[in-house]
Amino acid sequence: MSITEYIFWFLSFLAVLSGLMVVFSKNAVYSVLYLIITFFAIAGHYLLLSAQFLAAVHIIVYAGAIMVLFLYVIMMLNQNKSAEPNKHPYLMFISVIAAGALLLTLIGGLKSATVAQATSTQSNIGTIETLGKVLFTDFLLPFELSSILFLAAMVGAVYLSKNKLEA
């Protein structure tokens, strides 16, 4: 096995393990911390796939912004203790069975899938230069539209979390 294979399997193991810990840890703050570990493992996968720009954006946006937002909300809602008292005893059993059935179905369907061989062998697709050229030529309109989306999200978030809505 080459060094990239070792890194791939290590990062995959780390992502899956901490993903399971997100689901099964009792404390919501620990769930956030395990999710950050998962995001760093996914950023390692992006580096392995030579998508350097996406790896940097992923760490900045997810681990830097989104998870801090989650931590703030958990702090504001005072959920840093485990509080799920009325959990049905069969609920865990049933949902594990359902998720396992979904996993088996997807793997069984995708196991025999054949992917077409790569046609072009362009190597520097993940660099900022290449992505910036594509973003500002082919995808210029969606790029500008996403700024309107951000404006709408910002206005919506401020409006929703205002304490009293005076008319």
Partner 1 sequence: MQNLTGITINDYILLSTVLFCIGALGVMLRRNAIIIFMCIELMLNAVNVLLVAFSNHFGDSQAQVFVFFIMAVAAAEVAVGLAILIMIYRNAGTSDTDVLNKLKW
CA distance 121 to 156: 44
98 touching partner 1, by CB under 8 A = yes
39 touching partner 1, by CB under 8 A = yes
142 touching partner 1, by CB under 8 A = yes
68 touching partner 1, by CB under 8 A = no
140 touching partner 1, by CB under 8 A = no
Q: Please select the residue that binds partner 1; options are 10, 75, 80, 92, rule is CB under 8 A.
A: 92
Burial of 38 (0-12, 13-18, 19+ CB in 10 A): buried
5 touching partner 1, by CB under 8 A = yes
For partner 1, the closer of residues 110 and 167 by Cβ is: 110
For partner 1, the closer of residues 155 and 167 by Cβ is: 155
End-to-end alpha carbon distance in the chain = 67
19 touching partner 1, by CB under 8 A = yes
75 touching partner 1, by CB under 8 A = no
Site for partner 1 in 111-130 (CB under 8 A): 113, 115, 118-123, 125-126, 130
- What token pair was written down for 152? 């709408």
> Is 15:41 a contact under the CB 8 Å cutoff?
yes
Integer-rounded Cα radius of gyration of the chain:
21
Closest CA to 43 of 26, 23, 64: 64
The residue count for binding partner 1 (CB under 8 A) is 84
Site for partner 1 in 47-66 (CB under 8 A): 48-51, 53-54, 57-58, 61-62, 65-66
Return the sign of the alpha-carbon dihedral for residues 14, 17, 23, 29.
Answer: negative
